[in-house]
Amino acid sequence: MDCGNNDILQRLVLLHFSGKGRGYAMPLTTVHRLMESDALVAVDGLEECSVHITVTSPPYPMIRMWDSIFSEQDDRVARAFEAQDGEKAFEAIHSRFDQLWSLLHSKTSDGGILCINIGDATRSIGGRFRSFSNHARIISGCVRAGFDMLPEIVWRKQSNRPNKFLGSGMLPPTAYPSQEHEFILIFRKGGPRRFENTDARARRRRSAFFWEERNRWFSDLWDDIHGVRQNSGSLRERNRTAAYPAELPYRLINMFSIIGDTVLDPFSGTGSTSVAAAASCRNSISVESSESLVSMSSARMLDCIDECVSLVSGRIASHIKFISSRDRRGKHRSQRYGFGVVSSQERDIAIPVPLSVSADGEGRFTVLYEE
């Protein structure tokens, strides 16, 4: 579906914006919805073309910890696991994902972005050891759904575990490479996004990233973001969260969307994407099927100000450190902060600082910002 020039959407975004300054509207609040639901059902209920960016990490097919969830969601998966048929289970799980990619395509605005964090799985099933390439299967599903693939990122999570190597130890040929990376797959709906009015163009300039962030963030290998210790909640939930650090969605949201946009995470787990959206002054919709994870992420949202402020101040502090170590101290000057910046595109960067959060008791959280 083509979203066209979505004026209604633009106007809805502007409803959250009031106050004027330096020629552009100031975003003062963002709204974050947490929904307890199956991803397919919730995404189906969203308005067409209403999502600017999806950042998500689904449960990983063929990783044992997710077998029971996938089996509960689809009989074909349960039967394939019972029959120890790895190929059939893999395909059945991905064919349900395919429906979601297709729905996401219609809910994404023109030029909108889909980022999927996924790892491959290695496993013995039916007497055969093999690798199940989740990332390759998701790429074909998303391309079939109508998305264009953009260059992907390898997220390297180095492990020091002594048992990280697979197979027959020092004996060839049945020793296998350890898997120490995941993928961040990036897709776009249609051609580059257009910013047709003055407000959208101003919000885009305000949402720019620093020169040195561009150099780090737009590398195809990320090895500077560490995995999360799975240490929250009850033991059962702890084994099932597979959370990514909020820094990961925070970076992706800042790379591929602008202030005031709407971010979706259909598999939101502990709510890392909503916190990252709040920190970035974007609205968000998060969907999670586990009741206890929805309560955990609601509590996290209510208490998210420190977490958000640390993400925001981390960016500013890193830039100050970078620019003070450069000989030229930056050729241009930031309008908002007064410090040096490398290029003229960074002059209007102004990161709103989250100040307070309130909840309506029905899964909606409103975050207020100070300039």
Q: Which of 2, 26, 31, 1 is nearest to 14 (CA)?
A: 26
Please give the structure tokens belonging to residue 317: 């502090």
The least distance separating ligand SAM from the CB of residue 214, rounded to whole angstroms, comes to 25
Segment near ligand SAM (CB under 6 A), from 11-19, 193-201, 262-270, 330-338? 262-270
Residues 20-39 that bind ligand SAM (CB under 6 A): 38-39
Structural contact between residues 138 and 267, judged by C-beta atoms closer than 8 angstroms:
no
Structural contact between residues 184 and 117, judged by C-beta atoms closer than 8 angstroms:
yes
Q: Letter for the amino acid at 266? A: P
Structural contact between residues 32 and 301, judged by C-beta atoms closer than 8 angstroms:
yes
In the bound state with ligand SAM, the residue whose beta carbon lies nearer, of 50 and 268, is 268
- The CA distances from residue 216 to 255, 269, 278, 343, 358, in Å, are 11, 27, 22, 16, 34
Q: Letter for the amino acid at 88? A: K
The site string for ligand SAM over 65-94 (x = CB under 6 A, - otherwise) reads ----x---x---------------------
In the bound state with ligand SAM, the residue whose beta carbon lies nearer, of 61 and 340, is 61
Its sign, for the CA torsion 140, 142, 147, 150, is: negative
Selected binder of ligand SAM within 59, 141, 260, 330 (CB under 6 A): 59
Structural contact between residues 6 and 195, judged by C-beta atoms closer than 8 angstroms:
no
Whether the bond between 162 and the residue before it is cis, its omega within 30 degrees of 0, is no
In the bound state with ligand SAM, the residue whose beta carbon lies nearer, of 14 and 40, is 40
Selected binder of ligand SAM within 62, 139, 200, 242 (CB under 6 A): 242
CA angle 267-272-273, nearest 5°?
65
User: 3-class DSSP state for residue 175?
Assistant: strand
Residues 287-326 that bind ligand SAM (CB under 6 A): 287-290, 293
Q: Which residues of 116-128 are buried (b: 16+ CB within 10 A; e: fewer)?
A: bbbbbbbbebeee
In the bound state with ligand SAM, the residue whose beta carbon lies nearer, of 105 and 240, is 240
Selected binder of ligand SAM within 147, 267, 365, 369 (CB under 6 A): 267
In the bound state with ligand SAM, the residue whose beta carbon lies nearer, of 213 and 288, is 288
CA dist 263 and 51 (Å) reads 6
In the bound state with ligand SAM, the residue whose beta carbon lies nearer, of 272 and 334, is 272
Q: Which of 130, 153, 292, 132 is nearest to 216 (CA)?
A: 153
Size of the site for ligand SAM (CB under 6 A): 21
Answer yes or no whether residue 270 interacts with ligand SAM by CB under 6 A: yes
Question: To 10 degrees, what angle do helices 247-256 and 272-279 make?
Answer: 50
The least distance separating ligand SAM from the CB of residue 209, rounded to whole angstroms, comes to 22
In the bound state with ligand SAM, the residue whose beta carbon lies nearer, of 266 and 330, is 266
Segment near ligand SAM (CB under 6 A), from 56-64, 134-142, 143-151, 360-368? 56-64
Residues 274-293 that bind ligand SAM (CB under 6 A): 287-290, 293
In the bound state with ligand SAM, the residue whose beta carbon lies nearer, of 30 and 268, is 268
**Residue ranges that bind ligand SAM, judged by CB under 6 A:** 38-39, 57-59, 69, 73, 241-244, 267-270, 272, 287-290, 293
